[in-house]
Structure 1
Amino acid sequence: MYTRLLNHVARYIALDETAGQIFCNALELKTLRKHQYLLQEGDICKRDHFVIKGGLRQYEVDTEGRERIIHFGFEDWWITDRYSLLTQTPSVYNIEALEATEVLQINMDALETLYTEVPVLERYFHKVLQQAFAVGQKRVLLLQKSAEERYNAFLEDYGAIEQRLSQQHIAAYLGISRETLSRIRSQAAKKM
């Protein structure tokens, strides 16, 4: 159960067996059914989550009732509402399972304790946060591009998960209609 996470950690830092065990002991396994919420709008986010199996989407619903997906979380990805987690204010996002999903979760108090017990973990989470920040910046730039450029960038970054997502979810992530997405896909197929 912890192998996927420990392999992820090993990409960033060296963690000995004892430190790895301390880290694993601080985590809780949570299992979600398809369409079950990990977080709902209005709730205060209490934990960070590492996906070990399955997939989630993080989204908001605008004033006109349209969903805007800001992030996906699949195997080897961390997902949370970082703002709600850090400020302990109600979330504006929903995090919902797209399929049967298992996450390892850690609350902020346990994480702060881990930083003292296993200081090298602070470096790991620092690197993870840097990467998340860079992805967030890239996402802002993506939304300034044309619909076709957005879709091509999506394929470049997330082509491996495209088949696991509905057309509706891809369109909501790209900020375009399903009809526009269908047209772009059709035009791409004609070019092949």
Structure 2
Amino acid sequence: MHTLLLNHIARYVTLDDAAQQTFCDALELKRLRRYQYLLQEGAICRHDYFVIKGGVRQYETDAGGKERIIHFGFEDWWISDRYSLLTQTPSIYNIEALEATEVLQINKDALEALFLEIPLLERYFHKVLQQAFAIWQRRILLLQKSAEERYNAFLQDYGAIEQRLSQQHIAAYLGITRETLSRIRSQYAGKI
């Protein structure tokens, strides 16, 4: 159950067996059904989540009821509401399972204690967060591009999961309508 996460960690740092065991002991498995929430708007985020099976989407809903997906989380990805977790204030996001999903969750306070006990673990999270920050910077620029450029970038970055997502969810992530996405896909298919 922990193999995927330990392999992920090993890409960044090398934890000895004792450190791996200590970290794994602090993790809790959480299973979600399709459409079940991992986090709901208004709740305080108290965990970091590592997806080991399935997938989730992180989104907000505006006053008009329109959903804006800001992030997907599939196998081998971390997901959380960083702001709510850091400030312990209510989340503005929902994190919802797109399919049957399993995550390993770790409580914020337990993780902070582990950082003191296992400094390499803090180094690992530092590297993961640096990478996430770089991805967010790219995403901000991407949202200023044309719809076609956004879709092409989505395919480059997330082509492997495209078939697992509905057209509605892809459109909400790209900030375009389903009709625009259909048009772009038709044009794209015509070029192949």
Shorter-chain TM range is over 0.9
1:36 to 2:36 alignment:
yes
Deviation, structure 1 residue 135:
0.9
Residue 173 of structure 2 is matched in structure 1 by: 173
Deviation, structure 1 residue 95:
0.1
Residue 114 of structure 1 is matched in structure 2 by: 114
1:27 to 2:27 alignment:
yes
State the alpha-carbon separation in 1 of the partners of residues 44 and 54 from structure 2: 23
Deviation, structure 1 residue 64:
1.2
Q: Could you tell me the TM-score, scaled by structure 2's length?
A: 0.99
Q: After superposition, what is the alpha-carbon deviation per residue over 1:66-118, rounded to whole angstroms, capped at 9, x for unaligned? A: 00000000001000000000000000000000000000000111001101111
- RMSD value over aligned CA atoms? 0.5
Residue 98 of structure 2 is matched in structure 1 by: 98
Deviation, structure 1 residue 133:
0.6
Can you give the 5+ residue segments of structure 1 that lack an aligned partner in the other structure?
none
1:160 counterpart SS class: helix
Residue 51 of structure 2 is matched in structure 1 by: 51
State the alpha-carbon separation in 1 of the partners of residues 162 and 143 from structure 2: 18
1:159 counterpart SS class: helix
Residue 143 of structure 1 is matched in structure 2 by: 143
Deviation, structure 1 residue 172:
0.2
State the alpha-carbon separation in 1 of the partners of residues 36 and 132 from structure 2: 24
State the alpha-carbon separation in 1 of the partners of residues 184 and 115 from structure 2: 47
Residue 191 of structure 2 is matched in structure 1 by: 191
1:12 counterpart SS class: coil
State the alpha-carbon separation in 2 of the partners of residues 62 and 142 from structure 1: 21
State the alpha-carbon separation in 2 of the partners of residues 82 and 74 from structure 1: 17
1:66 to 2:61 alignment:
no
State the alpha-carbon separation in 2 of the partners of residues 132 and 188 from structure 1: 29
Q: After TM superposition, where is structure 1 displaced by more than 3 Å over at least 4 residues in a row?
A: none
State the alpha-carbon separation in 1 of the partners of residues 100 and 181 from structure 2: 26
State the alpha-carbon separation in 1 of the partners of residues 131 and 190 from structure 2: 36
Deviation, structure 1 residue 144:
0.2
State the alpha-carbon separation in 2 of the partners of residues 124 and 88 from structure 1: 23
State the alpha-carbon separation in 2 of the partners of residues 180 and 127 from structure 1: 36
Supply the AA of the counterpart residue of 2:161.
I
State the alpha-carbon separation in 1 of the partners of residues 151 and 173 from structure 2: 10
Q: How many residues align?
A: 192
1:7 to 2:11 alignment:
no
State the alpha-carbon separation in 2 of the partners of residues 181 and 64 from structure 1: 21
State the alpha-carbon separation in 2 of the partners of residues 75 and 141 from structure 1: 26
Q: After superposition, what is the alpha-carbon deviation per residue over 1:41-77, rounded to whole angstroms, capped at 9, x for unaligned? A: 0000000000000000000001111000000000010
1:162 to 2:162 alignment:
yes
2:59 counterpart SS class: strand
Identity %: 80
